[in-house]
Amino acid sequence: MVSSVIHVVLLLVMPPLLLGVINKTKAAFAGRKGAPILQPYYDLARLLQKGSVFSTTTTWVFRAGPVVTLAATLLAALMVPLGNHPALISFPGDMLLFAYLFGLARFFTTSAALDTGSSFEGMGAAREVTYACLVEPTLFFVLITLARMSKSLSLGTMFTYPSLQVWLTSGAVMLLLSNALFIALLAENCRIPFDDPNTHLELTMIHEVMVLDHSGPAFGMILYGAALKLFVLGALFTNLILPFKTGNPLPDWGIFIVAMLYLAVLIGVVESVMARLRLVRIPQLLVAATILSAFAMLLIVR
């Protein structure tokens, strides 16, 4: 019971913290003091208090976008085990639902962007969809490989399966999977080197440009949804690379939280040391990630 409460609370409260840590890390690398770690929470609070402005050319799709996106992401989040703790919803085959909930969220984000009729947002939507096509195979190969290894179709089992034993016997495969998943994580969450969340130049934006027209609480939902998505994929990644478990719930929560914070720092480091890729180079990296995961699958399936 306590565990479930912690689970839900973490799921709802922790995501913006990751953004805060990432920004703080980047600031530290740049030699700045940076915004406070809790800044994303203040931003969300501010946005929720504001009123909304809707363009008269938009339809209900524009309003549904942020809502559906957030709802889908939340639902997907419920299927993910956090550390050693089982997912809240789990059934065989939920990995497919998980993947397609993200697909649904993306569909509504891009539809809402197209609904504005702005050329910038249309461009962003086109890019988003293109890169998503390239990321999705990676995600699926990773999921299939894990499903094969753990002989289960449920995310709950698949991502609590990696243990020290697994890492020792098939370390190469696990290494491939975690690398592929990390690249997918960066791409899915529009981080550098794929997209720069802090850019101010519309031409180079991917995700940010799609949500230019949203304001107030709707924009808050988008920001919160993005953070939640980072949290969900990050949780999958930490489950994969963290084979240690004590069996005692409270220390396990501790390990998970620390691991997530480390992941946020890691993302911050990557964003600080790498430059954003040229747009034409992005598919190359994504195809490479697909090959990594396909290769991992090959090693397992053979």
What's the min distance (Å) between Cβ of 209 and other proteins? 25
Q: Is the CB of residue 156 less than 8 Å from the CB of residue 79?
A: yes
- Contacts (Cβ under 8 Å, ≥6 apart) of 295: 176
For other proteins, give the closer residue by CB, 171 or 254.
171
What's the min distance (Å) between Cβ of 2 and other proteins? 40
**176 contacts other proteins (rule: CB under 8 A):** yes
The single residue listed with the structure tokens 């130049």 is 201
Question: In this structure, how many other beta carbons lie within 10 angstroms of the beta carbon of residue 158?
Answer: 26
x/- map, 36-55, other proteins, by CB under 8 A: --------------------
x/- map, 186-225, other proteins, by CB under 8 A: ----------------------------------------
CA 23 to chain centre: 16
Q: Is the CB of residue 18 less than 8 Å from the CB of residue 100?
A: no
Give the range of 46-54, 68-76, 172-180, 266-274 binding other proteins by CB under 8 A.
Answer: 172-180
Q: Angle 165-171-174 (CA atoms, 0-180°, nearest 5)?
A: 100
Selected from 48, 171, 246, 250, the binder of other proteins by CB under 8 A is 171
Locate 214 and state its tokens. 């949203």
What's the min distance (Å) between Cβ of 171 and other proteins? 5
For other proteins, give the closer residue by CB, 13 or 299.
299
What's the min distance (Å) between Cβ of 245 and other proteins? 23
Selected from 19, 21, 210, 294, the binder of other proteins by CB under 8 A is 294
What's the min distance (Å) between Cβ of 150 and other proteins? 20
Selected from 4, 169, 246, 248, the binder of other proteins by CB under 8 A is 169
Question: In this structure, how many other beta carbons lie within 10 angstroms of the beta carbon of residue 223?
Answer: 21
**274 contacts other proteins (rule: CB under 8 A):** no
Selected from 74, 241, 279, 291, the binder of other proteins by CB under 8 A is 291
What's the min distance (Å) between Cβ of 182 and other proteins? 15
Selected from 172, 250, 273, 274, the binder of other proteins by CB under 8 A is 172
- Contacts (Cβ under 8 Å, ≥6 apart) of 52: 215, 216, 217, 218
Distance between CA atoms of 149 and 161, rounded to whole angstroms? 8
Burial class (CB in 10 A: 0-12, 13-18, 19+), 187: buried
Q: What is the residue-wise DSSP string for 131-195?
A: HHHHHHHHHHHHHHHHHHHHT-S-HHHHTT---HHHHHHSHHHHHHHHHHHHHHHHHHTT-TTT-
For other proteins, give the closer residue by CB, 12 or 164.
164
For other proteins, give the closer residue by CB, 145 or 152.
145
What's the min distance (Å) between Cβ of 152 and other proteins? 24
x/- map, 126-165, other proteins, by CB under 8 A: ----------------------------------------
What's the min distance (Å) between Cβ of 137 and other proteins? 11
Q: Return the exposure string of 240-255: e unless at least 16 CB atoms fall within 10 Å of the residue's CB, then b.
A: bbbeebeeeeeebbeb
Q: C-alpha distances in angstroms, 213 versus 60, 62, 122, 248?
A: 14, 9, 12, 47
**Which stretches of the chain bind other proteins, using CB under 8 A?**
169-173, 175-176, 283-284, 287-288, 291-292, 294-295, 298-299, 302
